[in-house]
Every structure is written in C-alpha cells, then in structure tokens.
Amino acid sequence: MDGLMTRRIRRISIVLAATLLGACAVGPEYERPVADLPETWSQPSQAGLGYETQALENWWAVFEDPVLDALVETAVRNNNTLEIAGLRVLEAQAQLGIATGLNYPQVQVAAGDASYISPPATSGVASNYWQFALGASASWEIDFWGRFRRGIESADGAYLASIAAYDQARVLLTAAVVDVYTIVRLTERQLQIAEENVAIQQRSYEIAEVLYRNGADSELDMQQASTLLLSTQATIPGYETAVQQSLNALNVLLGSPPGSIDDLVDSGRGLPALPDIIETLLNIAGEFYFPFLISSTRRSSI
C-alpha cells in the first residue's frame, strides 16, 4: 500500500513539474522570415537610367529651389506630429534602458554614517574621535527562465520600431510639403495664365464691340467675346481660393499660424525646374502608360 501511494505521489509530482515547466517556457527564438525577392528588375533597362543606390536624405534638393528647402527645414523643425514621433523614440529608448537594468540587482540599498564623538570631561576619556558605519544590501532575481532577456528583446524591437516610425513620419512630412508647395506654384501659374487671358480677351471684346458699333461685325461676335471674357474672369476667384487653401495647408504642415509664410512663398514664383533624370522617367512612364490607357479605354467602350 505504501509503495502504491509513493508511486502515485511521484506521478503527481512529475505532472506538476511538467506543468510548471511548460507554464514558464519563454517560447522559441524569433527568426526573421525570408523574403523571396527577384534578383533582377522586372522591366528591361532603359537608356539613361541606372540602378545605383542614390542618396535620398535630401531628395527635394534636386529641384534647386531655396524656398522649398527653407519650407522643408522649417517643417522638420516645427511640425508637431514629427516632434511627437521623436519623443516616442526617446520614450522607447528609456524603456529599453529600464528593461536592460533588470538584468542587474533590482533592489539596491546603501547606507552610511559618520559621527564625531567628543566625550564629556566627566567620562574619563580625554580624546575626541570619529566613528564610521557603512552598510549595503542588494536583491537580485536570477533570470532563470529568460523573462528579463525576452523583455530586453521586446523593448529593443519597440525602440527600433519607434525609429522606423519617426523616419516614416519624416518622409511623409517632407513629401507632403513638397506636394503642397508644388500645388501652390502650379495654381499660381494657372492664375497667372488666367489673368493674362483676361487681358487678351478684354482687348478682343473691346475690338469686337467697336466693330459692332461701326457696323463692321455682328452682335453675335461681340456677345461671344463677352461670354469668353466673363467665363475666364469667373475662374480667377477659384484659383485665388485654391492658392490660399494650399498656403494654409503649408502652414499646418509647418506648425505655424496662417499667413506666416506668405512673404517666404512670395519671394519666388514659378514651378521648380525638373532635373533631366525626372523628365526621362516621365517620358518612359508615358510610353508605358498611355498605350495601356488607350487600350483600356477601347476595351471599356466595347
């Protein structure tokens, strides 16, 4: 009977030990998945293009626009979203430091005392002396199951992810600033063309009106000139509104109040000049895109 009870206790102990060991398991080691990437480009090489890695830190500098450079610099310095992303990097770095510190004694206490003793004259001791006391204690949980080690790996991954998030926020911010700035310049150019057209059409209307009054032209021609002039004049408020909206969007990206960058933007006009390589890319994209667009339109019409 005693032997049977001993075997049962032994079996229960083995089951409990296996359960505890399974509960304390930290899991398998992380392995980065292998990405199946092609060894060559899917499209054939084009003349004038290369596959060398380019420095993209200041990619907007290829436009050689000092106003754009100043806007991007101001946005990186003042944008609230980018600042929050940078603070999250510092937060993740601090969390990584805390997780790393758990590998060392978690509780540390040190105490010291220094006393200068001057015995009274009635004690029979005539000399003064110092008395020192020093004590220290430390509590350290051994990372037997790898809990702290896994915590460090997790905090390190979170730290690297915060850096990637900051880089992503910076890339998106820069792209948004360049995009909105291009819209501002494009709309300004459209407004300029509309104003020039108004001046030309105003002169055409005046000529048509003079010809009509002198009987050399019909009233229909004068009304057509007037309609064309009025329709062009009607587009100007829309362009002016679009310019102001784009400027307000730039102010938001730069973290500045409305109107604060008007003087800076007004210091330069016209679209940024495209580098030769970008023009080549646009031409190549047009060669591939427009035939596809035409074929797709034909299929949809059928």
Condensed to tens digits (0 to 9), the pLDDT of residues 102-156 reads 777 666 677 777 777 777 665 656 677 677 777 777 776 776 677 778 888 889 9
Q: Is the pLDDT of residue 24 over 60?
A: no
Whole-angstrom Cα Rg for the chain: 38
Q: Is the pLDDT of residue 161 over 90?
A: yes
Tell me the mean pLDDT in the region 45-59: 65
pLDDT in tens, 282-294: 566 556 554 544 4
Tell me the mean pLDDT in the region 270-276: 65
Percent of the chain whose pLDDT exceeds 90: 19
Closest C-alpha among 103, 90, 88, 105 to residue 151: 103
Q: Is residue 118 part of a domain?
A: no
Closest C-alpha among 178, 179, 183 to residue 71: 178
Q: Is residue 261 part of a domain?
A: yes
pLDDT in tens, 75-98: 998 888 899 999 999 999 999 988
Q: Is the pLDDT of residue 165 over 90?
A: yes
Give the pLDDT score at 23: 45
Of residues 153 and 42, more confidence is placed in: 153
Q: Is residue 141 part of a domain?
A: no
* Token couple for 23: 């509960």
Give the pLDDT score at 301: 41
Which structural domain, as residue segments, surrounds residue 195?
59-106+146-272
Tell me the mean pLDDT in the region 160-181: 92
DSSP for residue 29: P
Tell me the mean pLDDT in the region 174-198: 90
Closest C-alpha among 51, 48, 57 to residue 282: 48
Closest C-alpha among 51, 55, 52, 33 to residue 42: 51
Tell me the mean pLDDT in the region 23-37: 70
Q: Is residue 301 part of a domain?
A: no
Q: Is residue 194 part of a domain?
A: yes
pLDDT in tens, 54-77: 566 787 887 788 888 888 998 998
Instruction: Decide: helix, strand or coil at residue 137.
Output: strand
Q: Is residue 178 part of a domain?
A: yes
CA distances from 216 to 10, 24, 91, 206, 227 (A): 121, 102, 81, 13, 20
Q: Is residue 114 part of a domain?
A: no
Q: Is residue 125 part of a domain?
A: no
pLDDT in tens, 195-237: 999 999 999 988 888 888 888 778 888 888 899 999 999 999 9
Kindly report the average pLDDT of the chain as a whole number.
77
Between the CA atoms of 147, 149, 155 and 156, what dihedral angle is there, to the nearest 10 degrees? -160
Task: Pick the range with the lowest mean pLDDT from 104-118, 237-251, 253-267.
Answer: 104-118
Q: What is the CATH number of the domain that holds 164?
A: 1.20.1600.10
* Total number of domains constituting the chain: 1
How far is residue 173 CA from its own chain's centroid? Answer: 6
